[in-house]
A and B are shown apart, each in its own frame.
Chain A
């Protein structure tokens, strides 16, 4: 069997269900690895080792008694620390909430993972309030990239990306308002999905921007991502943004390949709007050629320019975030790190007219992407325009952070998946992004799996531990 720490969620769940793997042995292996590696990676804000081991023992007993809970029974999961876990504080990686009350209940997405049998390991590092980072002026240090700990792991779901990539846990929850699941997935060489807006409940997740926030699964391979989405997706009548969607069969088309699928390559994002590093461009071309060789029809397609999407995203995000943070920013601005303080105060300088205008323009941008997705089944485009920069060089972070093509799909709500497209000469992951029609995550997984199978990307691990 593979080293326990590199077992995927589906692989582990299958072995546990077949009684070939003890969930206690798996948990012990991961806790040992966390103890050894996390001091260098800072993926965790709070490790709940004792509770996790108790649950692993309970899972073992349940399985031995023939009472399986679900498709993730006994599989450990990490939770971004803006998402409530009953019995633990939700700090949002901020001094503002450092002494916050213990969450009385699980967020819906966490409850659904537990319902499928998953075991919560603890709470993971994030950019402060999912927006301010990487920061060194917070109560906890920022997470590091396992491919090179001098580099940024992406954000804001930084601990989720870092920990999965390093083999600390096989899956984690992240949140994505301007790309925060897909950024760490890209930087850390894993698979991150921003599902269709409304597919996964946000209840129990600290908001950043109500109409842009998404909760998404993060894993080391595509099949695990589909399995995790199946566990967390579904209507929540108490989340006003929740879609009346039923849970889909996300793993059904995984191995079908891409023959007869039409893929639209959005080249202008990385060639004209925001010219990417040559290594990124070469990796994207390689992905397109590979999928074509696998039988897909690949053609160029155009969307509105990246700068327009980014401006609309910023105006909406800043306005909605200001509504949430204004009381704290007025009374205790010094309790925020500088990056979050700067980004969250921006909403104070936008007018109601700016916000309404952004929402009006947004509907036109949604129509633009919808039109493109009537011509093709899936879009292929860049995620990040650069490999991850050094974490200790604020100027590099500031330059590279906005150089991305993820925000368009927070604006439009379409499902978008980022995954590894190759490695840079410096040994850092390069990424590709696939975008699908609303609620067509199964097709997105189908394309992503075809690329993963053809390239072997799901088997590459960082040189850590």
Chain B
């Protein structure tokens, strides 16, 4: 993710203050996010449902 994109996304997220005071932290957060998203594989089944995220079940 390049600097201009990071700044654009940060401002869209309302992180103007963080961008001004902690630009390196904003950049690190952006890189962390893009790294995690890139490593995630897409579901094998295109019809796979996301919900409910956790099936807590009936238990014992």
Contact = CB atoms under 8 A, between A and B. Distances in A.
Given A333-B17, A360-B49, A245 B58 contact: yes
Contacts of B4: none
Interface in A314-373: 314-316, 318, 326, 329-331, 333-334, 338, 341-351, 354, 356-364, 366
Nearest to B32: A346
A248 interface: yes
Contacts of A314: 32, 36
B15 A358 contact: no
Interface string A408-440: 000001000000000000000000000000110
Interface string A363-385: 11010000000000000000000
Interface stretch (A163-171, A179-187, A261-269, A303-311): A303-311
Interface of A is mostly: helix
A349 B1 contact: yes
A312 B37 contact: no
A318 B36 contact: yes
A243 B56 contact: yes
A211 B54 CA distance: 7
B57 A354 contact: no
A350 B58 CA distance: 33
Interface in B38-55: 39-45, 48-51, 53-55
B13 A326 contact: yes
B56 A241 contact: yes
A447 interface: no
Given A342-B32, A360-B43, A363-B50, A438 B57 contact: yes
Consensus secondary structure, chain B interface: loop
Interface string A219-247: 00000000000000000000001111110
B10 to A, nearest CB: 7
A333 B18 contact: yes
A359 B51 contact: yes
B17 A331 contact: yes
Given A326-B14, A364-B48, A198 B30 contact: no
What range describes how many residues of A lie at the interface? Answer: 35 or more
A342 B25 contact: yes
Contacts of A345: 15, 18, 25-26, 29
A310 B39 contact: yes
Contacts, number: 151
Contacts of B2: none
A197 interface: yes
A59 interface: no
A215 interface: no
Contacts of B36: 310-311, 314-315, 318, 346, 350
B41 to A, nearest CB: 6
B40 to A, nearest CB: 4
A346 B13 CA distance: 11
Given A348-B15, A364-B44, A242 B56 contact: yes
A263 B58 CA distance: 25
B50 A359 contact: yes
Nearest to A244: B58
B13 A245 contact: no
A413 B54 contact: yes
Contact of A363 (B1, B25, B49): B49
B43 A346 contact: no
Given A246-B59, A345-B18, A354 B54 contact: no
A311 B39 contact: yes
Interface in A190-232: 196-199, 211
Given A308-B41, A311-B39, A315-B36, A333 B30 contact: no
